[in-house]
Amino acid sequence: MAPDLIANLRAQCGGPRDGALLRFSLGNALLAAGEAAEAAEALRQAVAFDPAYSAAWKLLGKACLALDDQPGAAEAWRQGIAVAQARGDKQAEKEMAVFLRRLGPME
């Protein structure tokens, strides 16, 4: 099912339905399929479409972490926390704060 879903989502990219939600969905499917690098790219496109999309920032951090890019994950979560605070999205803010703390101090 995942390859079909990914192919379907990719086919919609660049079309009239392209946007943050489509790129988020593609990134989520790619990450679930173990394609972290492609997932991170799709999620970067999602936040380019909508910089206030806190769920995309959260998932981008997870994709970066899957790529062993701890600084990238930390930066995505910091951006996501700022967005979540601005939007009053307390749950997303708390989740990303926990993820960030788990990374520990960054050099």
What is the distance between the alpha carbons of residues 70 and 90, in angstroms, rounded to a whole number? 23
Instruction: Please check the confidence at residue 106 and state whether its pLDDT lies above 70.
Output: no
Domain ranges of the chain: 2-103
Confidence of residue 84 (pLDDT cuts 50, 70, 90): very high
The percent of residues in the chain predicted with pLDDT above 70, rounded, is 97
* Verdict on whether the full-model pTM lies above 0.85: yes
Confidence of residue 95 (pLDDT cuts 50, 70, 90): very high
Instruction: Please check the confidence at residue 52 and state whether its pLDDT lies above 60.
Output: yes
pLDDT computed for residue 3 by the predictor:
83
Instruction: Please check the confidence at residue 1 and state whether its pLDDT lies above 60.
Output: no
The CATH label, of 1.10.150.20, 3.40.190.10, 2.60.40.10, 1.25.40.10, for the domain at 2-103 is: 1.25.40.10
Within 10 angstroms of residue 82's Cβ, the number of other Cβ atoms is: 16
CB neighbours of 97 closer than 8 A, spacing ≥ 6? Answer: 77, 81
Within 10 angstroms of residue 14's Cβ, the number of other Cβ atoms is: 9
